[in-house]
Structures are given as structure tokens and as C-alpha cells.
């Protein structure tokens, strides 16, 4: 395994510490115009203030210098007093990475801080955590503008590992959302490898150049021409910064590459289309996912419901039911389907006594006829999402009440 050089500001196992009550304000007094003051307290988990903790600010894009013993200079810093308090005056309001380091317990924090509100910012509390271990397989695929990387680093901190040849390297990493960059010092160029990476305390994450195909995209299975439908790529198994694109299966081809796992599309023509997705990192492009199908129709149609039946009673002849007046009966139907997958509702229409049921989520209702006579019983269905779309009426059932 390749040995790497890690700068002195690395973290080791220790007790938890908390940085709390951070606030910022912009001083307007004489001699301080444009400066921002950041102040807060570093305390142990039991609530006691901790002295001697170094709190440092780096520019958000700061790249630590190379070498065995580099000088990693912050733009501003302070040491906590006997009560754990600190106060820092920054050169100007800006976005910074706040790093805090306890030389006794060797614990630290890393977080991005926006110092820009003239009214003062309260940036809340932070807990110092154990570092995780980041393992990176540096292969020939890793290149920056055609040049191999010479370092891996976390911007805004002193975390850096030198790379001298393709190999497997290890670097301690704060247990906080971080960006990991590749750098080539000879051409002065960097490349973002991953963003928002968070390694749990005392855990390990391994990054490689391979990008697995996303899972099957999820979305509608049916729809209408001219209507937009969203699809979401299945979860991939890489920790790298990944972009996605979709193949819509029609003449429009592919979507644009995007960090979003979701994209939307509409189809001009009817038919069944295969939707698939692909992922890429700065180093590799995956194979295509398995496909999902969507059936596109020119218009929304609800199929005709089944003829009404009556529970526990059989018709005599030609779908004629002989029923008793004043008795409550259960009426059944169903079978209506939306060709674009919408949920359907049912309504029973009882001709002869001029009554209708409410619109029902299931084709089940009860009814009694109080007067003797012959009645025509049917059922109709509609789309729950677009109630203007209805089916034709079901075949008629005759009810003879005696």
C-alpha cells in the first residue's frame, strides 16, 4: 500500500467536543470597516468549556500546500480561552471553511460558513467528531486535462495526500459533508472528484473510478401525447460526483447531462417507449440501465364497467332480477380501467326511481326499492384525476320489484 504524507492538522480518536453559539457580525466602527467578527464557544460534551482549541478560517476554495512540512496558513485564527470562548476578526465578509482543532484530544470540526450578513449570523453549534478513512484507487483513468493527478485534497482545510503514481491511497477525512478534489500542481489545475461526501465517524469509504449503471428509472407507465412525465434514475452505488442523462426512446434522443436524478419529457406520438438512464463521473461513464416502458395514447379513455350483479342472488332469465320491496341489497360491478393508469371511480344509476349513488372508489353499494315496478340498473366510471373523462354506461340489468 502506498504511503502518503498527511499534514499535521489531521484527526485521531478522542472524546467528543462541541463548538457552539457561533455568531457573526460586521463591524462598522472606526478602523474595522468591512471586517466580520466570528465568535463562539468550544465545549466538551458535558458542557464545560475547553481551552487551547485552535479555531481557523480558510477560504472555501483553499488548496493546502504540498510537501512534508508545509505551512498551512489560515486567513484568521484564534485559540479558545480558559472558558472555551474565542473571537475571530476576518479580513472581510465572505464564505469560509471553519476548522477547529484540539491539540489534547486531537479532535476537530470542518464546516462551511457564510459570513455575509451585515446584521450578524448565528451559525449554530458543531460537534467535533472522529475522522473517517477515505480510500481512493488512483488508476490511469484519473486525469486532469490529460495530466495525472499529483494530490488529493479537501478544499478549505489542510487535508491533503500526495500522489506520485497510480496506486491505492488512504486519507483521513472529517466526519462532515466535504468536497474532495484532484490536483495537478505542475499545471495548476483541479478537478472535483466528489461533493457532499460524509464518512461516518471511525468508518471507511472507498472511491474508485468505476460508475455502476443506475437502476431502472421510475415513472409513469402510461400517459397522453403532449403531457410531460417525470422519471427518476435508480440509485447508483458510487460515491463519486455523478451526472445523469435519460434516453426517452423517441426522436428527441437524450436529455442533457445533469446532477439531478430526475428529468421530465413529453411524447408527440402515441406508442410504447423504452426509457433508460446513464450515469457518469469525472472519470467514467456507466452502461445504460435496464429500461422502463411508458405507453402513450392520443386521448384518455375509461373502459366500460362490468354489468351490475347483486350479491348472493342469481338472475332469473335475460339478466332480470326478482327482488322484494323494502329489502336492502348489495350491488356489485367493477372492471373499468383508465388507459393511462388513472384511478377510476364508479357511480350506480338506478333508472325508474331517478336515483344515483355517490361516486365511489370501489364498485360496491347498497340499495332498496320501496315501490313495486320494473327498474333499469346500470353503472358508469370516470377518472378520479380528470372527472370530465367518463366511460360509457354498462349493459343494462332489469330489476323487477314485487
Q: What is the full DSSP assignment across 25-37?
A: EE--STT-TT-EE
List CB contacts of 53: < 8 A, sequence separation 6 or more: 17, 42, 79, 80, 84, 86, 100, 101, 102, 103
- Segment (H or E) for 181: strand 178-184
The pLDDT of 290-313, averaged and rounded, is 94
CATH architecture observed for domain 309-401: Sandwich (2.60)
pLDDT at residue 32, rounded to an integer: 46
Residue with the bigger pLDDT between 13 and 353: it is 353
pLDDT in tens, 140-169: 767 787 888 888 999 999 899 888 776 788
Is residue 38's pLDDT more than 50?
A: yes
Confidence of residue 25 (pLDDT cuts 50, 70, 90): very low
The answer to whether 291 and 259 have CB atoms below 8 angstroms apart is no
The answer to whether 57 and 76 have CB atoms below 8 angstroms apart is yes
Q: What is the CATH number of domain 17-128?
A: 2.60.40
pTM: 0.54
The answer to whether 18 and 24 have CB atoms below 8 angstroms apart is no
Was domain 132-207 assigned CATH 1.10.287?
A: no
The answer to whether 369 and 399 have CB atoms below 8 angstroms apart is yes
Confidence of residue 27 (pLDDT cuts 50, 70, 90): very low
pLDDT in tens, 242-294: 889 999 999 888 999 998 999 999 999 999 999 999 998 776 788 999 999 99
Q: What is the CA radius of gyration of the chain?
A: 34
Give me 383's grid cell: 377518472
Residue with the bigger pLDDT between 371 and 45: it is 371
Is residue 239's pLDDT more than 80?
A: no
The pLDDT of 188-199, averaged and rounded, is 84
Nearest to 204 by CA among 140, 139, 98, 130: 130
Q: Do domains 17-128 and 218-297 have the same CATH topology?
A: yes
Confidence of residue 44 (pLDDT cuts 50, 70, 90): confident
Cβ atoms within 10 Å, residue 317: 5
> How does DSSP classify residue 381?
E
Residue with the bigger pLDDT between 188 and 343: it is 343
**pLDDT averaged over the chain?**
82
For residues 139-148, one letter each, b for 16 or more C-beta atoms within 10 angstroms of the residue's C-beta and e for the rest, the string is beebebeeeb
Q: What is the CATH number of domain 218-297?
A: 2.60.40.10
Strand partners, 397: 377
193 φ/ψ angles, rounded to the nearest 5 degrees: -90, -45
The pLDDT of 215-232, averaged and rounded, is 93
Domain ranges, ordered by start, for the chain: 17-128, 132-207, 218-297, 309-401
Percent pLDDT > 70 in the chain is 85
Amino acid at each position: 500500500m502506498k504511503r502518503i504524507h498527511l499534514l499535521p492538522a489531521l484527526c485521531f480518536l478522542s472524546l467528543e467536543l462541541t463548538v457552539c453559539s457561533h455568531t457573526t457580525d460586521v463591524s462598522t466602527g472606526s478602523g474595522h470597516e468591512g471586517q466580520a467578527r466570528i465568535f463562539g464557544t468550544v465545549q466538551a460534551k458535558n458542557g464545560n468549556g475547553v481551552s487551547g482549541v485552535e479555531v481557523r478560517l480558510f477560504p472555501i476554495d483553499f488548496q493546502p500546500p504540498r510537501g512534508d512540512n508545509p505551512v498551512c496558513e489560515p486567513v484568521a485564527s484564534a485559540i479558545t480561552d480558559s472558558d472555551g470562548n474565542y473571537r475571530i476578526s476576518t479580513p472581510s465578509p465572505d464564505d469560509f471553511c471553519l476548522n477547529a482543532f484540539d491539540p489534547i484530544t486531537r479532535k476537530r470540526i470542518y464546516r462551511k460558513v457564510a459570513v455575509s450578513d451585515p446584521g450578524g449570523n448565528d451559525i449554530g453549534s458543531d460537534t467535533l467528531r472522529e475522522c473517517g478513512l477515505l480510500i481512493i484507487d488512483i488508476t490511469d483513468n484519473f486525469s486532469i486535462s490529460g495530466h495525472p493527478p499529483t494530490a488529493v485534497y479537501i478544499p478549505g482545510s489542510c487535508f491533503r495526500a500526495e500522489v506520485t503514481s497510480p496506486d491505492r491511497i488512504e486519507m483521513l477525512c472529517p466526519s462532515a459533508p466535504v468536497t474532495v478534489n484532484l490536483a495537478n500542481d505542475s499545471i495548476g489545475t483541479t478537478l472535483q472528484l466528489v461533493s457532499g461526501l460524509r464518512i461516518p465517524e471511525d468508518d471507511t469509504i472507498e472511491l474508485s473510478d468505476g460508475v455502476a449503471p443506475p437502476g431502472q428509472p421510475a415513472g409513469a407507465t402510461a400517459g397522453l401525447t403532449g403531457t410531460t412525465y417525470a422519471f427518476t434514475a435508480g440509485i447508483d452505488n458510487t460515491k463519486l460526483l455523478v451526472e445523469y442523462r435519460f434516453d426517452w426512446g423517441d426522436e428527441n434522443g437524450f436529455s442533457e447531462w445533469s446532477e439531478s436524478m430526475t428529468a421530465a419529457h413529453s411524447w408527440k406520438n402515441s406508442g410504447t417507449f423504452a426509457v433508460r438512464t446513464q450515469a457518469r463521473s469525472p472519470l467514467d461513464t456507466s452502461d445504460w440501465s435496464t429500461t422502463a416502458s411508458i405507453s402513450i395514447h392520443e386521448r384518455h379513455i375509461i373502459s366500460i364497467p362490468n354489468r351490475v350483479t347483486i350479491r348472493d342472488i342469481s338472475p332469473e332469465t335475460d339478466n332480470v332480477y326478482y327482488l322484494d320491496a323494502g329489502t336492502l341489497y348489495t350491488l356489485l360491478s367493477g372492471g373499468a380501467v383508465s388507459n393511462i393508469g388513472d384511478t377510476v371511480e364508479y357511480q350506480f344509476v338506478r333508472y325508474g326511481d331517478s336515483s344515483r349513488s355517490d361516486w365511489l372508489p370501489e364498485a360496491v353499494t347498497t340499495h332498496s326499492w320501496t315501490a313495486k315496478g320494473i327498474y333499469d340498473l346500470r353503472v358508469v366510471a370516470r377518472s378520479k384525476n380528470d372527472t370530465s373523462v367518463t366511460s360509457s354506461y354498462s349493459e343494462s340489468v332489469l330489476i323487477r320489484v314485487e
